[in-house]
Amino acid sequence: MLGFFGFNSVLIDMDFSPTQSTFFLLMKRLSSECSLYLKHAVENMKSKNVPDVVAENPLDKLNFRSNEFVDGVNELAKILNTVPHPDPLITLRAVRKVIVKRMAPDCVEHPEKYIVKGTPFPFEEHALGFDLKDSVLNRAAKIMRMIYIQDLRELQTRANELIVAVQNITANPKTDTKLGKVGY
C-alpha cells in the first residue's frame, strides 16, 4: 500500500528510531484518512464568516455585455459622431473622452475658446521619416504622429502652467527700500 507521501508500509518494519517510527506511523494514518481531513478542511474554508457586500452603486449591477447596454453605447456614439468599436467598453471610453473634452460646461458656454482657428496643418505633404510600403498605413502613421505631438503639446502647456502657478506662490519677493534688500 502506498501512503500519503509514497511510503511503503514495509518501511515501518525496519529499524528506525522511535521518533522516526512515530513520524512514519503518523504519515501512514494521515494518508489513510487524507480524504476525510481534506473534506473537513474544505468545509471549514467555506463556512468562514465572510460578509456579504451589498453594492449601493447601481452601475455595479450593470451587465456590460447585455444587448441593451451595447445598443445604448452604440447609440450614444452615433449621437456624438464617434466610430463604434466591437468592444462596447472601448466605445464607452471613446464617448467619455468626447464628453469630457467637448461637453464640459466651459466648452458649452464659450465654444469660441475651444474651437481651433487657423489653417489646418498639411500633414499629407510632409514626409513621415520612414516608409511602411502601404499608403494607408503611411497616412495612419502620420495621423498618429500628429495626435502624439498634440498630446505632447498639451502636456507641455500643463507643465508650464504648473511652473507659473508655483512661481506665483514662491517667487513673490517683498522689497523693503529702507533696508536696501529684496526679500524678508
182 pLDDT higher than 70: no
13 pLDDT higher than 90: no
Report pLDDT for 181.
61
pTM for this entry:
0.43
State mean pLDDT over 100-126.
Answer: 82
Backbone angles phi, psi at 72, to 5 degrees: -65, -45
Interval 18-77: pLDDT, tens: 666 676 676 777 676 766 666 666 666 665 656 666 667 777 778 888 999 999 999 999
* Contacts for 106 with CB less than 8 Å, ≥ 6 apart: 113, 114
Q: How many H helices and E strands in the chain?
A: 7, 2
How far apart are the C-alpha atoms of 46 and 130, rounded to whole Å?
60
Region class of 152: left (phi > 0), else alpha (psi between -120 and 50), else beta: alpha
Q: Which of 64, 58, 61, 118 is nearest to 90 (CA)?
A: 64
Name the 3-class secondary structure at 178.
Answer: coil
99: cell is 464628453
5 pLDDT higher than 50: no
How far apart are the C-alpha atoms of 20 and 22, rounded to whole Å?
5
104 pLDDT higher than 60: yes
142 pLDDT higher than 70: yes
Share of the chain above pLDDT 90, in %: 23
4 pLDDT higher than 60: no
More confident of the two residues 112 and 42: 112
